[in-house]
């Protein structure tokens, strides 16, 4: 299995809702990432987990809360989002040596906040 | 100045044409990715390079580490190649820095 699977593919939520995005990989990768991508812009790094521990938080607002329950799963919990948070949320994973083995990206979750 | 510059920003080609997209970067890197993204879709990694040249089907990627420059070539372009092509460099410490992307449209 050489894929990163993200669910759901599309999500519409109100500003008072709580929802979660899920990301799963079974490649034995020990680093996992959340990116946010606005239309016609490159992805922006949000969080990095390395060996299930949060190693990078790029000053993301607390209404986004990441969780890494085990080495295969990465969640992004959403609460009290704003319409400007509408974007494509991409998950990626990499091996311990991404310079040799690269990154694998998921297909993304298209989030719309209404 | 962005750390990763791509050119052109937009490219329209006729089916069958040879296409080149360029990427220049200003930082030390451990590797460079070429990525493809179709409208509204996720990202697919096409190549990862740290030196030389790689080929996959009609796609060829080259990198010149001394000149800090990489190119992505598409031979015999096809409308299904229409997508955004993104150059991303992996800085030491494994952080990816993305270029702004090149929007490619191949007309039949």
- Residue in A40, A102, A110 closest to B48 by CB: A102
Work out the minimum CA distance from B76 to partner chain A, whole angstroms. 26
CA separation for the pair A48, A45 (Å, rounded)? 8
Q: Across the interface, do B30 and A43 touch by the CB < 8 Å criterion?
A: no
Determine the average pLDDT of the residues in A21-26.
96
A103 interfacial to chain B (CB closer than 8 Å): yes
pLDDT of residue B39: 85
CA separation for the pair A105, A82 (Å, rounded)? 25
CA separation for the pair A55, A110 (Å, rounded)? 25
pLDDT of residue A1: 65
A43 interfacial to chain B (CB closer than 8 Å): yes
For testing the chain B interface, which of A37, A86, A103, A108 should be mutated: the one with the most B CBs within 10 Å? A103
Question: Is A27 in a helix, a strand, or coil?
Answer: coil
A45 vs B contacts (CB less than 8 Å)? 95-96
Work out the minimum CA distance from A57 to partner chain B, whole angstroms. 12
pLDDT of residue A99: 63
Q: Across the interface, do B45 and A104 touch by the CB < 8 Å criterion?
A: yes
A105 interfacial to chain B (CB closer than 8 Å): yes
CA separation for the pair A114, A88 (Å, rounded)? 15
Peptide bond into B85 cis (omega under 30): no
A88 interfacial to chain B (CB closer than 8 Å): yes
- The pLDDT tens digits of the residues spanning A29-83 come to 989 999 999 988 999 999 999 999 998 888 899 999 999 999 999 999 999 999 9
Please give the DSSP secondary-structure letter assigned to residue A101.
Answer: H
Determine the average pLDDT of the residues in B45-55.
92
Please state, as a whole number, how many other Cβ atoms lie within 10 Å of the Cβ of residue B89.
Answer: 24
Query: Which has the closest alpha carbon to B70: B81, B57, B86?
Result: B86
């Amino acid at each position: 299995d050489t894929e990163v699977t993200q669910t759901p593919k599309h999500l519409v939520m109100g500003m008072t809702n709580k929802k979660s995005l899920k990301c799963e990989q079974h490649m034995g990768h020990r680093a996992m990432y959340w990116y946010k991508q606005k239309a016609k812009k490159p992805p922006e790094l949000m969080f990095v987990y390395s060996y299930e521990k949060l190693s990078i938080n790029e000053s993301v607002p607390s209404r986004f809360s990441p969780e890494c329950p085990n080495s295969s799963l990465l969640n992004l919990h959403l609460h009290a989002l704003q319409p400007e948070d509408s974007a494509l949320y991409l998950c990626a994973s990499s091996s311990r040596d991404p310079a040799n083995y690269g990154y694998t990206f998921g297909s993304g979750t298209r989030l719309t906040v209404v | 100045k962005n750390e990763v510059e791509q050119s052109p920003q937009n490219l329209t080609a006729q089916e069958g044409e040879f296409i080149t997209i360029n990427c220049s970067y200003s930082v030390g890197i451990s590797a460079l990715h070429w990525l493809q993204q179709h409208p509204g879709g996720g990202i697919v990694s096409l190549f990862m390079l740290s030196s030389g040249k790689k080929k996959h089907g009609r796609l060829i990627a080259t990198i010149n580490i001394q000149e800090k420059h990489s190119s992505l070539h598409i031979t015999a372009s096809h409308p299904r190649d229409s997508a955004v092509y993104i150059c991303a460099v992996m800085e030491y410490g494994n952080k990816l820095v993305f270029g702004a992307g090149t929007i490619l449209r191949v007309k039949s």
